[in-house]
A and B are shown apart, each in its own frame.
Chain A
Amino acid sequence: MSKQRTPDGPPPPPVVQRLRLRYAKRGRLRFTSHRDFARAFERALRRAGIPMGYSAGFSPHPKISWVNATPTGVASEAEYVEIGLAVRCEPDDVRRALDDSLPPGLDVLECVEAPAGGPSIADLVDASSWEIRLPGVEPALLEKALAAFVAAEEVPVERRTKDGVRRFDARAPLVTSSVSSEPGPDGPCAILRCVVRHVTPAVRTDDILSGLCSVEPELAPPAPPEARRLAQGHLDDAGRLADPLGVDRALSS
């Protein structure tokens, strides 16, 4: 068969350090899709001169592993990514350099070194905490809807995916929830905070919302809801989320 062309020169240097980063997607840049962000992140790494580890071959890819990206249009304070470096760096220098390289609104908040041989980030997160702001919705109405939602055995919802319409239960993954409110320019703004387990298919904030609307037909938000991921982590028995970088941070300090 064909003789394989191989790149001239030595293979890429091995990864000597793994760093875990928490970043935020805020404001208008919440409309960045995950693919868009991934591309922008790779370019930011190059601009910042981070000594990335690369895969071998003619199409070398930087060593980057992603977990659980939020959907396009949903803001987040807690996205995680792990990168493999070919030269050891001070984690906070990497954080600062990357944050400076990314536009305001895509903000790198934390960077810690991952221990060799430890669990992957994906193993450290199994639930997220969300905030869903509903401008123009009376908090009492949202509370009524939430009570009906929580009381239900099952809240079937539908979502259009590229493989057609999927139907699944939005109730079971909901762990904790509460309603608060804030005055807004067009009347009150009801705020739902909830912790939702990561399941397959993923139950997203728009699924929770469509579930709420289905159990309480009066609930019809007049303006687009604003959803934001507040945290991700491992769910403990008390319904709290353990910080996925907590252990690494403790180890490195």
Chain B
Amino acid sequence: MESVFPQLERLLPRVQKPIQYVGGELNSVIKDWDSSEVRWALMYPDAYEVGLPNQGVMILYEVLNEVAGVLAERTYSVWPDLAALMRQNGVPQFTVDGHRPVVAFDLLGVSFSTELGYTNLLEALDLAGIPVTAAERTEAHPVVIAGGHAAFNPEPIADFVDAAVLGDGEQAVLEITEVVRAWKREGSPGGRSELLLRLAGVPGVYVPSLYDVEYLPDGRIKRVVPVSPRVPFRVQKRTVMDLDEWPYPKAPLVPLAETVHERMSVEIFRGCTRGCRFCQAGMITRPVRERSITGIGEMVERGLAATGYEEVGLLSLSSADHSEIGDIARGLATRYAGTQTSLSLPSTRVDAFNVTLAQELSRNGRRSGLTFAPEGGSERLRRVINKTVSKDDLIRTVTTAYAAGWRQVKLYFMCGLPTETDDDVVEIADLAKAVIKAGREATGQKDIRCTVSIGGFVPKPHTPFQWAAQADHETTDRRLKLLRDALGRDKAIGYRYHDGKPGIVEGLLSRGDRRIGAVIRQAWVDGARFDGWSEHFSYDRWMAAAEQAGIDVDWYTTRERGEHEVLPWDHLDSGLEKEWLWSDWQEALSEQTLDDCRDIPCFDCGVCPGMNTEIQVGPTGQTLLPLSVTR
């Protein structure tokens, strides 16, 4: 397969940041096309600077390229300046590794972290010369497979994707690969439809075209049924057990272009059982599976040697919760003392231990701000969302941080949470002022800062809030303004907010059903791309598209669902029992909290027995030995 680089090269002097289209990243791989039996194009549907650091794509890229006879290359969304030139000059969507046309691959895997990437999928398909509508594709086109968190409700993009993978991708992509390999070796019997049927037999793979959706006269879903006896009624998510067996990425990609994360990331555990009711990631990635302290140590060491990065981020949904995080932080800080290597922990947990950890990690290097996420402004609201941190806890934690020398603390909140009142949001101002006051008292100094960062809450599938009414954007914006007024003019308090309109579109896409596909298509036709970027996003364009498609946006967003309503994703099994989610939703409404199942006996969310998985946590009792680091 010939490279399109010569044609592309002529366009590059005319676009912004051409280096992002050139490839040549350290640790990238270009395998021989002709001797490969199965060829994957992996896409992150956003700009290169956002997509390149994505861990999911990096992991699958490496896992697939390790297999003999299998090739994986990467492709990202091209900015509108290059897209226009590509259309004018007949240059198709290409991979950055071999600059091969995406249409020539067997599979196109697209990782969706957010629903706002959907229009970028349509744009990439169109630029690639692949029919946007899955039903119009032939054997000449790749099988388009969605993955990532948004794939837990792929119904809004059911018209555009051939399949979706639910849950962890490492093993699923290998099984999909073998299905495609066998089908091709047999001479592609039964064509594309047979291939899709076979793929639907791979655990975790959902093929939307093999399911029929029936609706009730009032517009709600009546039922979703498979159209073939060969496909399951419900598709179960995939769960990778024993992360130490999957130490990927082993050699992270290092781009020449600047990206949003200029550091190496090591995933220290997967899953979270804190039970924050708004958090889709925490719900769909259960159970908790820790990487061992020694496994983490090896990944850090090997990754640094392979990349030359000067910063390592220890990633997970709540990194301070690793059972051996204290030893990990101490061990790594000791190991890399004096090497200009800095360590970071994206921290959101509000407790003093977190400050101690941050202190440990930053003892060799600079300190950026500390971030805590109380999420809700009042204690009542924090009980509703099951983020049980008291005002005193927060003040104590932040005071500890100021006393330990931090000058800047960031607090994250959400606006528009279920049962929220104006008072709940305005209380954030009291909290911020109390934080500054306590910090000044603790340090005896005036020059400390606290930044309040707040965004609109979007209810997500597979969470206890999946039934909730989303706040309309007027309410969100009004409360954000009330909060701004209440924060006053104190220069010590910063205020960052995201207004309510993009959240409504995200809400429409995240809890939508197949009828939302027409809205996405229309919005894309009307020019929607890069919807996660405020300079490209247009609320009015989306509302016009919804109107043209005959979709009532409020019905999908601000309407509360009933207990027995069939939800568009009910046939997609995240392991969580719907009855448990409902009872947790009811407990939220009555302001009752729930403990972490790592600390108390099982609270019956259903994941472990349903998926035949279990919590994997330490402590292992092992420690990190200092390495003789030469540098």
Indicate which residue in A37, A51, A54, A59 contacts B256 across the interface (CB closer than 8 Å): A37
Residues of B within 8 A of A37 (CB): 256
Within 8 A of A (CB), among B430-463: 445, 447
Q: Report if A223 contacts B (CB, 8 A).
A: yes
| Residue contact A60 to B340, C-beta cutoff 8 Å | yes
Which residues B286-337 have CB closer than 8 A to chain A? 305-310, 337
B363 at the interface (CB under 8 A from A): yes
Q: Interface 1/0s, chain B 401-424, versus A by CB < 8 A?
A: 000010100000000000000000
**In whole angstroms, what is the CA distance A137 to B312 when docked?**
51
Q: Say yes or no: is A29 at the interface (Cβ < 8 Å to chain B).
A: yes
Is residue A31 contacting chain B, with contact meaning CB distance below 8 A?
yes
The answer to the question of B19 belonging to the interface, with a C-beta cut-off of 8 Å to chain A, is yes
- The residues of A that contact B340 with a CB separation of less than 8 Å are 46, 54, 60
Given A45-B308, A49-B630, check contact A36 B256 (CB 8 Å). yes
Asked if B254 is at the interface (CB within 8 A of a chain A CB), the reply is yes
Q: Say whether B256 contacts A9, CB under 8 Å.
A: no
- A32 proximity list for chain B (CB < 8 A): 19, 22, 256
- Pick the contact of A51 from B12, B17, B26, B631 — CB < 8 Å? B631
A105–B12 touching, CB < 8 Å:
no
Q: How far is the CA of A51 from the CA of B338 in the complex (A)?
A: 12
- Decide if A230 is an interface residue (CB 8 Å cutoff): no
Main SS class of interface, B: loop
B22: which A residues are within 8 A, CB to CB?
28-29, 31-32
Chain B residues within 8 Å of A105, by CB:
24
Q: Which residue of A lies closest to B254 (CB)?
A: A43
Shortest C-beta distance, B119 to chain A (Å), equals: 27
B residues in contact with A33, CB < 8 Å:
17, 19
A48, closest chain B residue (CB): B308
Which residues from chain A contact B407 at a C-beta distance below 8 Å?
Answer: 2
Out of B24, B25, B254, name the residue touching A28 (CB < 8 Å).
B24
Most interface-central of B5, B22, B308 (chain A CB within 10 A): B308
| Complex contact A36–B258 (CB within 8 A) | yes
Is B489 part of the binding interface, using a Cβ–Cβ cutoff of 8 Å? no
B-chain residues with CB within 8 Å of residue A73 when the two chains form the complex: 12-13, 18
Chain A contacts for B366, CB-based, 8 A: 58-59
Residue from the set A39, A42, A51 with the largest chain B CB neighbour count within 10 Å: A39
CA distance A31 to B13 in the complex (A): 8
A46, closest chain B residue (CB): B308
- Given A28-B5, A29-B24, A73-B13, also A101-B308 (CB < 8 A): yes
A46–B340 Cα distance when bound, in Å, is 10
Closest to B306 in A: A47
Rounded to whole angstroms, the CA-CA distance of A9 and B340 in the bound complex is 13
> Which of chain B's residues have a CB closer than 8 A to the CB of A72?
18-19
Contact present for B445 and A2 (CB under 8 Å): yes
Task: Indicate if the CB atoms of B367 and A58 lie closer than 8 Å.
Answer: yes
A223 nearest CB neighbor, chain B only: B10
CA distance A33 to B307 in the complex (A): 20
Q: How far is the CB of A114 from chain B (nearest CB, A)?
A: 23
**Distance (whole angstroms) from the CB of B339 to the closest CB of chain A:** 9
Give chain B residues whose Cβ lies under 8 Å from the Cβ of A40. Answer: 254, 256
- Asked whether, in the complex, the Cβ of A103 is within 8 Å of the Cβ of B24, the reply is yes
Tell me the complex Cα distance, A60–B630, Å. 18
A31 touches B19 (CB 8 A): yes
Set B9, B364, B631: member contacting A46, Cβ < 8 A: B631
Assess A47 versus B308: contact at CB under 8 Å? Given A2-B407, A73-B12: yes
- What is the bound-complex CA distance between A40 and B256, given in angstroms? 6
For A211-244 the 0/1 string (1 means CB < 8 A from B) is 0000000000001100000000000000000000
Is A246 in the interface zone, CB < 8 Å from B? Answer: no
A44, B309: Cα distance in complex, Å: 9
Residues from chain B with Cβ under 8 Å of A163 in the complex: none
Q: Does chain B have a CB within 8 A of A7? A: yes
Bound complex: CA of A1 vs CA of B447, how far in Å?
9
The complex places the Cα of A40 from the Cα of B24 at a distance, in Å, of 12
Q: How far is the CB of B80 from chain A (nearest CB, A)?
A: 19
In the assembly, what is the distance between CA of A105 and CA of B19, in Å? Answer: 13
A101-B305 Cα distance, complex, nearest whole Å: 11
| Chain B minimum-CB-distance residue to A104 | B24
**Contact (Cβ within 8 A) B308 A44:** yes
Whether B631 and A47, one on each chain, are in contact in the complex, defined by CB atoms closer than 8 angstroms, is: no
| CA of A123 to CA of B258, assembled, Å | 31
- B257 contacts A by Cβ under 8 Å: yes
Known contacts: A31-B18, A58-B365, A72-B19. The answer to whether A36 contacts B257 by CB under 8 A is yes
A138-B409 Cα distance, complex, nearest whole Å: 64
**CB neighbors of A among B222-278 (8 A):** 254, 256-258, 262
Flag whether A90 is at the interface (Cβ < 8 A).
no
Q: Which of B138-191 contact A (CB under 8 A)?
A: none
- Please give me the residue from chain A that is nearest to B8 by CB atom: A28
Give min CB distance, B582 to chain A, whole Å. 50
A47 touches B19 (CB 8 A): no
Residues of A within 8 A of B630 (CB): 49
Query: A174 vs B284: C-alpha distance in the bound complex, in angstroms?
Result: 65
Q: Indicate whether A35 sits within 8 Å of B365 (C-beta atoms), given known contacts A5-B405, A43-B308, A51-B631.
A: no
CB distance from B421 to the nearest CB of A (A): 39
In the complex, the answer to whether B307 meets A49 with C-beta atoms within 8 Å is no
Which residues of the partner chain B approach A49 to less than 8 Å between Cβ atoms?
Answer: 630-631
**Closest Cβ–Cβ distance, residue A246 to chain B (whole Å):** 31
Nearest CB in chain A: distance from B468 CB, A: 44
In the complex, what residues of B have CB within 8 A of residue A5's CB?
367, 405
Query: What B residues does A36 contact at CB under 8 A?
Result: 19, 256-258
Give the residue name and chain of the B residue nearest to A50 (CB): B631
Chain B residues with CB under 8 A of A153: none
Output the nearest chain B residue to A33 by Cβ-Cβ distance: B19
- Chain B residue nearest to A44 (CB atoms) is B308
In the complex, what residues of A have CB within 8 A of residue B305's CB? 47
**How far apart are the CA atoms of A101 and B26 in the complex, in Å?**
9
Which residue of chain B lies nearest to A36 when distances are taken between CB atoms in the complex?
Answer: B256
- Docked Cα-Cα span, A43 to B337, in Å, equals 18
* Nearest A-chain residue to B18, judged by Cβ: A31
Cross-chain contact B19 with A2 (CB below 8 angstroms)? no
Separation of A241 and B365 alpha carbons in the complex (Å): 44
Q: Nearest chain A CB to B91's CB is how many angstroms away?
A: 14
Which residues of the other chain, A, contact B23 by a CB distance below 8 angstroms? 28
Given the complex of chains A and B, what is the CA–CA distance between A72 and B340 in angstroms?
Answer: 29
Q: How far is the CA of A45 from the CA of B363 in the complex (A)?
A: 23
Which residues of chain A (5-36) have a CB below 8 Å from chain B?
5, 7-9, 28-29, 31-33, 35-36
A28-B9, A36-B258, A51-B631 known; A2+B447 contact, CB < 8 A: yes
Q: How far is the CA of A47 from the CA of B631 in the complex (A)?
A: 10
* Known A-B contacts A8-B363, A49-B631, A51-B631; A29 and B256 likewise in contact (beta carbons under 8 Å): yes
Interface residue from B10, B19, B262 paired with A224 (Cβ < 8 Å):
B10
A28-B23, A40-B254 provided; 9 other pairs, C-beta below 8 A?
A28-B5, A31-B21, A31-B22, A32-B19, A39-B262, A40-B256, A42-B310, A103-B25, A223-B10
Q: Please list 22 pairs of residues, one from A and one from B, whose beta carbons are closer than 8 Å in the complex, sorted by A's number.
A: A1-B447, A5-B367, A28-B24, A31-B19, A32-B19, A36-B19, A36-B257, A39-B256, A39-B262, A40-B254, A42-B310, A43-B307, A43-B309, A44-B308, A46-B308, A46-B309, A47-B307, A49-B630, A51-B631, A101-B308, A223-B10, A224-B10
B interface residues with partner A (beta carbon < 8 Å): 5, 9-10, 12-14, 17-19, 21-26, 254, 256-258, 262, 305-310, 337-338, 340, 363-367, 405, 407, 445, 447, 630-631
User: Top 10 A-B pairs ranked by shortest CB distance?
Assistant: A43-B308, A47-B308, A46-B308, A58-B366, A31-B18, A31-B19, A36-B256, A28-B22, A224-B13, A59-B366
Residues of A within 8 A of B (CB): 1-2, 5, 7-9, 28-29, 31-33, 35-37, 39-40, 42-47, 49, 51, 54, 58-60, 72-73, 101, 103, 105, 223-224
